Amino acid sequence: MNDTPLSAKIKEAAAFIREQFPKKPEIGLILGSGLGVLAEMIEEATVISYDRIPHFPVSTVEGHASELLLGTVRGKTVLLMKGRFHMYEGYGVDVVSFPVRVMKELGVHTLIVTNAAGGINASYEVGDLMLIKDHINLTFRNPLIGPNDNDLGVRFPDMSETYDRSLRKVAHEAAGELGIKLQEGVYVGLLGPNYETPAEIRMLRTLGGDAVGMSTVPEVIVARHAGIRVLGFSCITNMAAGMLDQPLSHAEVIETTERVKPKFLQLVLNIIPKLEA
């Protein structure tokens, strides 16, 4: 990023968004690979292409759109990112997490993150949804490195309850009402873009991981730094490398998200009205 201070960039991006959509969004959503369909749940959406927003990059990966949608879902004002940025695309960790800073500036109090992930836990099945209980940052990147702006958050943020316990309870209740099976586990975030080796998956299992993916961790770190509550879901799109006698492919990931999306949509729709500031 250039020499403009981070706080000024955040304010410029937020001001631009506010011009298009003056209402204050309460809930932020970041949609992962193939999950953009969740955007359909927004009523009368204001759509803003990322390339029009000051300091926003554009996402390049197949299966990802590049749009911000603002509107109402079940009576709540939401800001939804259809398409996110990944470090494997070449973006810095500060760029990847920048939109979360802008969400905070606009007034978002709760962030829902979704991703596609490989299942490491042998009891999981392809197509399961996993509520993220905690994460392990194996990207070896951190969006908070550098001088700390105390107006944005503290120097050493607490991460002992990164994925809010009361929100997780809400998610389980919502899933129960709908009869949707909801796993709960630890998400391991890696840089990618190659899928892992079987030896790496065995290591991640030993470390306590239940699912593995290439996103989410930077955005969640910034959200916690900013004091935004976080709820996270992984769609288990495939069993991780070496668990089944078959290669991994992006096509399988997209195929599974296609299959799971009605269930995912129902769950998120049922959760949103239950989220209070």
User: Which residues are near ligand HPA by CB under 6 A?
Assistant: 116-118, 195-196, 212-214, 237-238, 240, 248, 253
Active site annotation includes 64: yes
**Residue whose C-alpha is closest to residue 250's, from 34, 83, 85:** 34
List Cα–Cα distances, 148 to 6, 102, 145, 157, in angstroms.
10, 17, 8, 11
Active site annotation includes 40: no
Active site annotation includes 123: no
Helix (H) or strand (E) holding 76: strand 76-82
Closer CB to ligand HPA, 132 or 214, in the complex: 214
Active site annotation includes 172: no
Backbone angles phi, psi at 218, to 5 degrees: -60, -40
Closer CB to ligand HPA, 117 or 230, in the complex: 117
Mode of pairing for the β-strands spanning 43-49 and 27-31: unpaired
Lookup: tokens for 72: 């109402």
Active site annotation includes 88: yes
Give me the least distance between CB of 73 and ligand HPA, in Å please.
26
List Cα–Cα distances, 195 to 134, 189, 209, in angstroms.
21, 12, 15
Give me the least distance between CB of 117 and ligand HPA, in Å please.
5
Give me the least distance between CB of 253 and ligand HPA, in Å please.
5
List Cα–Cα distances, 182 to 118, 121, 186, 234, 252, in angstroms.
15, 14, 13, 10, 21
Q: C-alpha 113: how far from its chain's center?
A: 3
Q: Which of 116, 174, 211, 241 is catalytic?
A: 116
Give me the least distance between CB of 240 and ligand HPA, in Å please.
5
Q: Which of 59, 115, 215, 234 is catalytic?
A: 215
Active site annotation includes 214: yes
Q: Which of 13, 14, 26, 33 is catalytic?
A: 33
Q: Which of 12, 142, 184, 250 is catalytic?
A: 250
Known catalytic residues? 33, 64, 86, 88-89, 116, 214-215, 238, 250
